[in-house]
């Protein structure tokens, strides 16, 4: 299973829509992602990223919901690791 994660665009570099890149913050982890599929995306907006490519824009409230779900999943994983 593959998972796409929302992140907030912090900076954008490149003028050519095909090579445009963004520094995207995924709840504290910052990675580079291609913005070729979302040429309308701007700094401060949230995008869904999979395999290094931003696939679509998403509103902040939806992104925050996903971050909450991911935090809950980590808590479940921590519980499972400590289980006998």
Q: In sequence order, what are the residues at sequence separation of 6 or more whose Cβ sits closer than 8 angstroms to the Cβ of residue 23?
A: 9, 10, 11, 30, 31, 32
The answer to whether 10 and 27 are in contact (CB under 8 A) is: no
Question: What are the sequence ranges of the domains in the chain?
Answer: 5-81
Taking the complete model, does pTM exceed 0.85, yes or no? no
pLDDT tens track for 20-36: 999 999 888 899 999 99
The answer to whether 18 and 55 are in contact (CB under 8 A) is: no
Label residue 74 by pLDDT band (50, 70, 90): confident
What confidence score (pLDDT) does residue 4 get?
A: 87
Residue tagged 């401060």 (tokens): 44
Domain 5-81: CATH class, spelled out: mainly beta
Give CA–CA dist 14/19, Å, rounded: 6
């Amino acid at each position: 299973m593959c998972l796409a994660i929302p992140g907030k665009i912090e900076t954008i570099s490149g003028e050519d829509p095909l090579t445009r890149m963004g520094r995207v913050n995924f709840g504290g982890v910052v990675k580079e992602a291609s913005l070729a599929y979302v040429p309308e995306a701007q700094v401060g907006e949230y995008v869904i990223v999979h395999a290094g490519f931003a696939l679509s824009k998403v509103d902040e409230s939806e992104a925050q919901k996903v971050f909450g779900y991911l935090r809950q999943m980590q808590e479940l994983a921590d519980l499972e690791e400590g289980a006998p």
